Amino acid sequence: MNVTSSVREPLVTGGKTWADITNDICRQVEGKPSKSWIIAFTFSVLLLGVGVFCVMYTWFVGIGVWGLNKTVGWAWDITNFVWWVGIGHAGTLISAILLLFRQKWRTSINRAAEAMTIFAVLCAASFILLHMGRPWLAHWALPLGNTYGSLWVNFNSPLVWDVFAISTYLTVSVVFWYIGLIPDLATIRDRATNKISRLIYGTMAFGWNGSAKDWSRFEAVSLVLAGLSTPLVLSVHTIVSMDFATSLVPGWHTTIFPPYFVAGAIFSGFAMVLTLMLITRKVFHLEDYITLAHVESMNKVITLTGSIVGVAYITEFFIAWYSGVEYESYAFINRATGPYWWSYLAMMTCNVFSPQLFWFRSVRRSILATFVISIVVNIGMWFERFVIIVTSLHRDYLPSSWAYFTPTWFDIGDYANSFGLFFTLFLLFSKFLPVINMAEVKAILKSAGDVQTGQATGNAKVKSNETVSHN
């Protein structure tokens, strides 16, 4: 027996029934692509086309086409990589960690968030290939050892750990996401009206028949994968942070990096989920499934993680002064007042100040404000990585080699490529697969649907203070 307190807001509104959920979410999979989808998809593919041209040119000519110089050897490439990997944290966090915390609101957003995670990790991986300059030697990052000569990869290097962490994370995320899709794919198969869809969705559904045995296995596998994903998702950004923190570069070598990077990753990941879901919700008319209660909960996570990041910024700044180390202090003063002061200002404003607006309930529950802030946060998180990477490098120990990094069109074009890839994949996903996990939303309907819990405004009446559902 489960009880849901009446102080909790319903998570499914509009008096939906189990059948309504299936119809509402399958509608866009089964129907013809809408006009807005076709326009968005065309634009994304065009962007991807331009991006692919830039990437091919970069590989053909070499990474000299970027604005790198002898002092700043990492700039937009690694900034973009870290930014995308960070975004790719939200899906697994929502599916695994919010599952452990029994947050029912995750059910409406986990599917899209996981899909977004996979696409973001692919975008991140593209920058690893890009910054190698010679992508045909990418397999050298794997520990293949003597097969290719007498040298192993350097196991002491966090760059190698990155290869393991991210490839494992990508694999587990894809498996987790796909397994979660199976019951929904079977629903679409069962509703299919033409042979081709039945064949495609039927193949993808792996012969799911909805028996108790199927569900029992499904739940066992999901639990194991959730258990695996939790440490994995934390390990990924921890190791990304160690790409910097194991070095001796002032501004990079600081012990707070691992947890602070993870908090920042969740922060930007949630912001990206919000950006995408607020559009999806509007275009696909899913307001009854992604309610203001969902938006508000996500905004709270953004406020929390944004504040953790803020405390970390202040801690770094304070300890740089407190340490009494000249180079540490200079690195941080240079961030704030040096030639890149504008990027530091962008980072502070977007990441530390903007989420504080969510302390006001009216802002947390405003779709427009949330949409704007979600984009602002991701701009800020891009600048955070830019600040960490470029401003720590551009004035190194030898003042004679101090330099300034300016991006070229190919820095911008290669970045655009990742957006093209990301949106193309996301649009394909949102058209051909159910963007909301039907099976899981159905599972919470009894305890969180407005009519089912007697919280519907209108005809349904509030029966008692507490609603008891027997299941």
Partner 1 sequence: MGSHSTVHYNLDEKYDFTPEAKKRVLMWLFIGLAMFGVGLAMLIMGGGDHGHEVAHGATAGHGGAHAPTWTARLYAVLWHNALFFTGISLIGVFFVSIQYVAWAGWSVTIKRIPEAFGAFLPFSFVAMLVIFLLGGHDIFHWTHADAVAHDEVLQGKSAFLNTPFFLVRMVLFFGLWYFIWRIIRGYSAKEDLEGGLTYYNKTITVSAVFLIIFGVSTSMVAWDWTMSINPHWYSTLFGWYHFASWWVSGIATIVLTVLLLKEKGLLSFVNQNHLHDLGKFMFAFSVFWTYLWVSQFLLIYYANIPEEIIYFKERMHLYDGHYRGLFFFNIIINFLFPFLFLMTRDAKRQTILLKIAAIAIIIGHWLDFYLMIMPGVTKGTSGFGFLEFGTVTVFASAFIYVISTQISKLGLLAKNHPMLQESLHHDI
Residues of this chain that interact with partner 1 (CB under 8 A) are 1-8, 100, 102, 234, 238, 242, 245-248, 253-259, 307-308, 311-312, 315-316, 319, 322-325, 359, 466, 468, 470-471
Residue among 2 and 457 whose Cβ is closer to partner 1 = 2
The least distance separating partner 1 from the CB of residue 304, rounded to whole angstroms, comes to 9
Residue among 292 and 308 whose Cβ is closer to partner 1 = 308
- Fill in the DSSP letter of residue 349: I
The least distance separating partner 1 from the CB of residue 321, rounded to whole angstroms, comes to 8
The least distance separating partner 1 from the CB of residue 428, rounded to whole angstroms, comes to 36
The least distance separating partner 1 from the CB of residue 63, rounded to whole angstroms, comes to 27
The least distance separating partner 1 from the CB of residue 165, rounded to whole angstroms, comes to 14
Q: Is 395 exposed, middle or buried (0-12, 13-18, 19+ CB in 10 A)?
A: buried
Which ranges of 192-291 does DSSP label H, i.e. alpha helix? 195-204, 212-245, 257-283
Residue among 334 and 467 whose Cβ is closer to partner 1 = 467
Residue type, 60: F
- Helix-helix angle 367-386:257-283, to 10 degrees: 140
Residue among 4 and 58 whose Cβ is closer to partner 1 = 4
Calculate the alpha carbon distances from 77 to 67, 126, 414, 419, 422 in Å: 11, 9, 8, 14, 16
The CA distance from 420 to 274, in Å, is 19
Residue among 200 and 319 whose Cβ is closer to partner 1 = 319
The structure tokens 């995750």 sit at 106
Residue among 213 and 470 whose Cβ is closer to partner 1 = 470
The least distance separating partner 1 from the CB of residue 5, rounded to whole angstroms, comes to 5
Q: Is 68 left (phi over 0), alpha (psi -120 to 50) or beta?
A: beta
- Helix-helix angle 212-245:158-191, to 10 degrees: 150
Residue among 111 and 294 whose Cβ is closer to partner 1 = 294
The least distance separating partner 1 from the CB of residue 139, rounded to whole angstroms, comes to 27
Calculate the alpha carbon distances from 20 to 24, 238, 289, 378, 442 in Å: 6, 42, 11, 35, 10
Which ranges of 145-206 does DSSP label H, i.e. alpha helix? 158-191, 195-204
What's the chain's length in residues?
Answer: 471
